Structures are given as C-alpha cells and as structure tokens.
C-alpha cells in the first residue's frame, strides 16, 4: 500500500463511524475505570453489564412501551441495580481479604459466565437489532461521506456524559467523597465516610454507565449473547492505554480503539485485533500506570 494513497481512503464517514464506536466503548470503559479507581476492583463482568443494557433497552422498546428514550433510561437504571446487587452480594465480602485482587477478578468472571447463560435463557441465542428512533433515522452527508444521524447523536451523548461526569467528580460533594476515598480509604473511613455504601454507589454508577453504553449502542450493532465478551476485552485495552482509574484516559483510549476498529480493517483484516493489543502491550511496558492520571483528571 502506497502511503500517499492511504489518506484519500479515510473519509469523514470513517471518522464518524470510528468516533461513534469509540463513544460506545467510552461509556463502558469509563465505568470500568471509575470502579477500578475507587474500589480497586477490575470488574470482568462489566462487558456483561453492557450487554444487559442493550437487551433491557431492546425489551423495553419492543415489548413494553416502544419509546426509545425511555428504554435507554430504564435499561441503564436496571443495569445499575444489577451491578449494585453484584457488589453487595459477592464483592463486599472480599474487601477484607489480603491480596483479594485476583479473587475479585475471578468472582466477576463467574458473573460473565452466569450472565451469558442467563441472557441465552431469556432471549435465546439469535441476534436482535433495535430500530433507530425515528427522529434520528436519516442519512447525513459531509464531504461526500454518508452516515446516519444517530451515530453523530451517540458521539454527542458520550461527550456530554464525559463533561457531566467530570463536573460531578470535580465540583460536587459526593465527587469529593469519591476522590478522597479512592486515594485513602482508611482516612476517609475515619473521617466518617460510610465506605461500603460509597463503594456500592460507585459500583451502581459504573454499571449504570455500562448499561447506558449498551442501550445507546443497541441500534448500531447486532445484539447477541457474545456481545459482552467482545466489548470487555476492548474496554480492558482502553483502560490500560488511558490508565486504570483515569476518566480522561478512558475517553482518549476509547476514541483510539474506535478509530482503529473503523480504519485498520481497510488495510489488513486482523489488524483491528492486533493493533490495539500491541498498543496495550507497549503502554503496559513503558508506562504501566497509563498515559493519563488518576480519578478526576
């Protein structure tokens, strides 16, 4: 491939698709990063929660009310509740254990298996697609490239979540509790913070974001029981590149992986798998704490 010929191949449409893929990944990665930053738990089940968000939204749209916007909200809240329940029942008992990192990873991996089968039991193995909301179901054209308006909407929504989350953590009282607890758990506990309750709240928020990502991305992808497995690995790549616990890192990492997924396959097929993993290896070796700082940065 002559390098001069590469650039004309990357149109505005590819960039929009890449950014929209990145946006859905951002919503899952930022929740993963938030949970890791505050609780120190690498939640393997996060991809499964994202998948649940997509399925919940699908069910609300097709079976209950048929309102897409309501489906997104209901889906995200339901996933948040599932996440909080997981935290209370199985992760809370492990905090006291010495060296519980690997135990937590394995417990959450157990939930990956359970959710995968539960989804197959309830919805079956066949792939579903969610209809796009009518208001956004039209094609836009910029610079000769075409894409659906919905993709642009997802990008804007992710950017809004990014800004909202940043303001929430930097400017609110709850945000300062979260930051304080993430940097020194004992001290926060001594100063009267109810740490277990805060942890559950953070787990709820992280799961809520994963569910929101799944619900928002539902019209852009086919929904099947393997959706969770595919996105969790992408989310791991993103949080490692950006830095475990870093919100802005999750944003940059997500956009990078999204662009890779939209552009690289045009040049070589398996490259979209290889390139992000290569980036992950390089970042882990050179700067294991990631390219960006901690919570709220």
Binding site residues, other proteins, CB under 8 A: 42, 90, 93-94, 96-97, 99, 101-103, 105-107, 109-114, 116-118, 120-121, 229, 233, 236-237, 240, 244, 268-271, 273-274, 277-278, 280-281, 284-285, 288
Q: Minimum Å distance from CB 160 to other proteins?
A: 30
Contact 266, 11 (CB under 8 A): no
Q: Minimum Å distance from CB 51 to other proteins?
A: 14
Q: Minimum Å distance from CB 65 to other proteins?
A: 30
Give exposure, 102-134, as e/b (b: 16+ Cβ within 10 Å): eebeebbeebbeebbeebeeebeeeeeebebbe
Nearer to other proteins, 209 or 239 (CB): 239
Nearer to other proteins, 188 or 244 (CB): 244
Q: Taking each helix axis from N to C terminus, what angle separates 195-217 and 12-39, rounded to the nearest 10 degrees?
A: 160
Q: Minimum Å distance from CB 9 to other proteins?
A: 20
Nearer to other proteins, 142 or 274 (CB): 274
Q: Minimum Å distance from CB 37 to other proteins?
A: 13
Q: Minimum Å distance from CB 143 to other proteins?
A: 31
Nearer to other proteins, 112 or 188 (CB): 112
Nearer to other proteins, 60 or 237 (CB): 237
What does DSSP say about strands 145-148 and 139-142: parallel, antiparallel, or unpaired? antiparallel
CB atoms within 10 A of CB 73: 15
Please give the structure tokens belonging to residue 54.
């997509």
Residue 25 CA to chain centroid, in angstroms? 5
How many Cα atoms are found within 13 Å in the side-chain-facing hemisphere of 46? 34
Q: Minimum Å distance from CB 260 to other proteins?
A: 12
Q: Name the phi and psi angles at 232, rounded to 5.
A: -65, -35
Nearer to other proteins, 117 or 184 (CB): 117
DSSP annotation of 130 reads: P
Nearer to other proteins, 190 or 285 (CB): 285
**H or E segment and range at residue 44:** none
Closest CA to 217 of 58, 99, 87: 58
């Amino acid at each position: 491939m002559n390098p001069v010929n590469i650039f004309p191949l990357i149109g505005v449409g590819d960039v929009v698709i890449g950014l929209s893929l990145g946006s859905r990944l951002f919503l899952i990665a930022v929740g993963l990063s938030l949970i890791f930053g505050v609780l120190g738990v690498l939640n393997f089940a996060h991809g499964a929660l994202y998948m649940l968000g997509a399925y919940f939204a699908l069910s609300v749209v097709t079976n209950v009310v048929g309102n897409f916007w309501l489906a997104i909200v209901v889906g995200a809240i339901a996933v948040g509740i599932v996440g909080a329940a997981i935290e209370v029942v199985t992760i809370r008992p492990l905090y006291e254990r010495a060296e519980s990192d690997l135990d937590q990873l394995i417990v959450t991996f157990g939930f990956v298996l359970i959710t995968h089968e539960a989804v197959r039991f309830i919805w079956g193995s066949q792939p579903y697609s969610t209809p796009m909301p009518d208001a956004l179901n039209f094609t836009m054209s910029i610079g000769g490239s075409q894409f659906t308006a919905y993709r642009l909407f997802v990008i804007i929504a992710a950017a809004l979540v990014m800004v909202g989350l940043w303001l929430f953590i930097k400017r609110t009282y709850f945000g300062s509790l979260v930051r304080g607890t993430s940097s020194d758990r004992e001290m926060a506990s001594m100063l009267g913070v109810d740490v277990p309750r805060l942890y559950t709240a953070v787990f709820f928020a992280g799961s809520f974001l994963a569910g929101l990502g799944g619900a928002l991305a539902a019209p852009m992808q086919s929904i099947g029981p393997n959706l969770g497995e595919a996105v969790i690995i992408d989310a791991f790549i993103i949080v490692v590149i950006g830095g475990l616990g870093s919100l802005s890192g999750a944003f940059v990492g997500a956009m990078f992986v999204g662009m890779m997924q939209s552009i690289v396959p045009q040049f070589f097929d398996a490259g979209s798998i290889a390139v992000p993993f290569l980036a992950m290896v390089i970042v882990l070796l050179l700067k294991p704490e990631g390219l960006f700082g901690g919570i709220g940065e």
